[in-house]
Amino acid sequence: VSQTNDEVEKENGGRFGQGFPPESIAIVGISRNGRSKVPGYDGLRLFQGLRDYGYAGRLYPVNPKADEILGEKAYASVVDIPERLDLAIVTVPAPAVPRVIDDCAAAGVRYVHVCSSGFGETGLAEGLRLEEELREKALKGGVRIIGPNCMGFNVPSKRITTFPDIGVLPEGGVGLISQSGGHARLFMMNAASMGLGLSAAISYGNGLMLDAVDFIEYLAEDDRTQVICVYLEGIRDGRRLAETVRRIVPKKPVIIWKGGLTDAGSRAAASHTGSMAGSEAIWRAFYRQTGAVRVDTLEEMAEAAMAFQMLRPLPGARAAVMTMGGGSTVQSGDLCGRANLAVPRFSPETQKEIPKFVSSVNQGLSNPMDVPGVLMDPIAFTRLLRVVAQDPNIDVLLVGLPVEAALGGFGQTTQALVDFNRESPHGKQVAAAITDNWGPHEIEKQCREAREMGVPLFPTFTGACLALNRVAGYYRFLGRRDIRA
C-alpha cells in the first residue's frame, strides 16, 4: 500500500498541499429538494453551509437535472465548469462515485473529497472492489482522493466548512488531523468554547490515497499552524510517520492521540477503520524517539493544545502548587504525583521569605501550599507569586481554585494571575485549575434525573468503568472469601 502512495506522489508531484485550501469548490450530488440518497451526507446542506458561512472562493453546484440550485447556476458535470477546480466534494451513492472520478479527471480537478460511505470500511467484497476502482481511476486520472467515507474539513481562513452544523471555527494556531470524523467533529464543537482557534481541521476517512502523514506534512508547512493535533487509529507506513514527525517536532509540537492501544480499543479500531492498531510498546517507543506529545483522550489533546498555545517554553516540570484547604492540598499533591509533575521543596530562601508575610495559622506554607487566606487577599497573593517565581527549584506555578473562583467569586485573585502572566517575573508563568469540578453542574443534574429513574448514568465514561469495576471487585472479594471460609 505504501508503494502505491509513492506512485501517487510521483505522478502528482507531491501529496497534499498545493491548491489547499481550495480557491474553487464544486459540490457533486446535490439534490434540489435536499433529500440526499446517502444517509448522513447531504450535498444541498453542504452547499448551503459553504455559501452561508461565507466561503471565500468560488462555489459550483453540480446536478445534471437542475438549471439552478438555491439561485446559483447549476452545472450538469464538473467538466462543464469554466475553471480548473481545486476541489470537488462528492456525496453521490458509492456505486456512482467512480463515474464522478472520471469526470473530475477529465476536468483536471485537483482533489476529490468523497463523503460517501459504502467502500472498504464495510469489509464487504463490493465495497472493497469499488474502493479499488476509485484508486485506479484516480491514479490514472491524476486526481487525489480525500476519503472515501470522510466527513471532510474546516478551514477558518477561507471560511470553509463541510460541517454545516458546526459552521466555520474561530481562526487560530491549532491544526487537527483526525482519522475519525466523529472525533474531529467533537473537537471542533468544543474548540470554540475552550477558546481554541483552529488553522485547519481535516478528517480523512478511509485514507485511500492521502493518509495522516500527508496532512501532517501540510500542517507542518502551514504558517498559521503552531500546534499539530493528530488522532490516529492505524497507519500505513509507520517508518514514514516516525521520520516525518521527528523532522517536524523541532519546528512545532505534534500532539498524537493513538486510539486502540488496549485489547478492546484495538478490536474497535479494526472494525471502525480496518486499522491494525499496533502495540502499546511500539507506540511508547514511537513517542520517545520522535518527541511527539502523547495524549490518551480527546480532552487531553485539546488541553495540551491549549497549554502549548498559552504558555511559552517551560524550563522543566517542577511546580509550585497553591490551593485552599488541607484536604484539597493533599489531593492536589497526589494528582501532581500521579501525573509526574514534580512538587519540590522550596529553596531555603523561599522558605525564609514566605513566613514574613504569610500566616501559618490554618495555612500550610510548604509546597504544595495550603493558603486560603492568601488566595483571597490579592496583595498577599501577588507577593507570594513573585516570591515563588524567583525560586530556582520551581519551573511553573499552578494555582488550585475552588469552582466558585471559576464562576467569578474571586475576581481580584484572577486579576493577580492575569497580571503575573503579563509581567512573567523571572520568566515564570502561572496556570490554574479547578480543584472541585464535579457535582452540582448542568451535566450532573441531568445524570441525576436518569438515576432517579433507575439508570446509573455517569458524567464520564472513565468514571463509569472505574465504578463498575469497583462494584464487581467488591463482590469478587466476597466470593473469594466465601470459598476460603
With binding defined as CB under 8 A, does residue 39 bind a second copy?
A: yes
- Candidates 18-26, 72-80, 374-382, 473-481: pick the segment binding a second copy (CB under 8 A): 473-481
Nearest approach, Cβ of 467 to a second copy (angstroms)? 4
Cβ 171 to a second copy, closest distance in Å?
Answer: 15
Residue 17 Cβ vs a second copy, minimum distance, rounded to whole Å = 25
Smallest distance from a second copy to CB 207, Å: 13
What's the angle, vertex CA 94, arms to CA 121 and CA 230, rounded to 5? 45
The Cα–Cα gap between 440 and 453 comes to 19
- Nearer CB in complex with a second copy: 100/321: 321
Based on CB atoms, which residue is closest to a second copy, 63 or 244? 244
48/206 with CB nearer a second copy = 206
CA distances from 249 to 17, 296, 395 (A): 19, 19, 22
- Classified as helix, coil or strand, 480 is helix
How far apart, in Å, are the Cα atoms of 130 and each of 4, 46, 125? 17, 24, 9
Number of residues this chain uses to bind a second copy (CB under 8 A): 153
Residue choice 70, 96, 335, 380 for contact with a second copy (CB under 8 A): 335
Cα–Cα distance, 333 to 336 (Å, whole number): 5
Site string for a second copy, 45-64 (x = CB under 8 A): --------------------
Q: Which part of the chain contacts a second copy (CB under 8 A), choosing from 3-11, 161-169, 379-387, 405-413?
A: 405-413
Give the DSSP letter string of 97-161: HHHHHHHHHHHT-SEEEE----SGGG--HHHHHHHHHHHHHHHHHT-EEE-SS---EEEGGGTEE
The reply to whether 293 sits near a second copy by the rule CB under 8 A is: yes
Binding window for a second copy (CB under 8 A); candidates: 80-88, 128-136, 178-186, 346-354: 178-186
In whole angstroms, how far apart are CA 241 and each of 14, 192, 340? 16, 29, 27
- Closest separation between CB of residue 7 and a second copy, Å? 28
- Residues 69, 150, 213, 269: which binds a second copy (CB under 8 A)? 269
Q: Which of positions 220-239 make contact with a second copy (CB under 8 A)? A: 231, 233
Q: Which of 10, 125, 475, 484 binds a second copy (CB under 8 A)?
A: 475
User: CA 168, CA 53: separation in Å to the nearest integer?
Assistant: 7
The answer to whether residue 376 forms part of the interface with a second copy (CB under 8 A) is no
Nearer to a second copy, 4 or 279 (CB): 279
Q: Kindly state the helix (H) or strand (E) to which residue 396 belongs, with its residue range.
A: strand 396-401
427 binds a second copy (CB under 8 A): no
Query: Beta strand pairing status for 396-401 and 369-370?
Result: unpaired
How remote is the C-alpha of 462 from its chain's centroid?
18
Task: State the CB neighbour count (10 A cutoff) for residue 376.
Answer: 15
For position 4 contacting a second copy by CB under 8 A, the verdict is no
Asked if 38 interacts with a second copy (CB under 8 A), we say no
In this structure, the chain runs to a length of 485
Backbone angles phi, psi at 171, to 5 degrees: -75, 145
| Burial class, 465, CB count within 10 angstroms (exposed 0-12 / middle 13-18 / buried 19+) | exposed
Asked if 398 touches a second copy (CB under 8 A), the answer is yes
Rounded Cα distance, 352 and 308, in Å: 34
- Is 461 a binder of a second copy (CB under 8 A)? yes
- Which of residues 332, 346, 377, 394 is near a second copy by CB under 8 A? 332
Residue 26 three-state SS = strand
Interface pick for a second copy out of 223, 339, 348, 356 (rule CB under 8 A): 339
Task: Tell me if 285 contacts a second copy by CB under 8 A.
Answer: no
Of 2, 18, 279, 297, the one binding a second copy (CB under 8 A) is: 297
- Pick the closer one to a second copy by CB: 21 or 207: 207
Q: Give yes or no for residue 356 binding a second copy (CB under 8 A).
A: no
The stretch near a second copy (CB under 8 A) out of 14-22, 60-68, 137-145, 425-433 is 425-433
Among 80, 303, 351, 393, binds a second copy (CB under 8 A): 303
Q: At what angle do helices 238-248 and 280-290 cross, to 10 degrees?
A: 30
Beta strand 227-232 with 171-178 is parallel
Q: What is the DSSP letter of 364?
A: B
Torsion of CA 40, 41, 46, 47, to 10 degrees: -140
403 lies in the binding site for a second copy (CB under 8 A): yes
CA atoms of 330 and 400, how far apart (whole Å): 12
Site for a second copy in 103-122 (CB under 8 A): 117-118, 122
* Cell output for 116: 460517501
Member of 56, 285, 379, 418 binding a second copy (CB under 8 A): 418
Q: Which is nearer to a second copy, 58 or 272 (CB)?
A: 272
249 touching a second copy, by CB under 8 A: yes
Q: What whole-number distance in Å separates Cα of residue 179 and Cα of residue 188?
A: 14
Which residue among 3, 10, 263, 348 contacts a second copy (CB under 8 A)? 263
- Residue 322 CB, shortest distance to a second copy, in Å, is 12
Provide, rounded to whole angstroms, the least separation between the CB of residue 306 and a second copy: 6
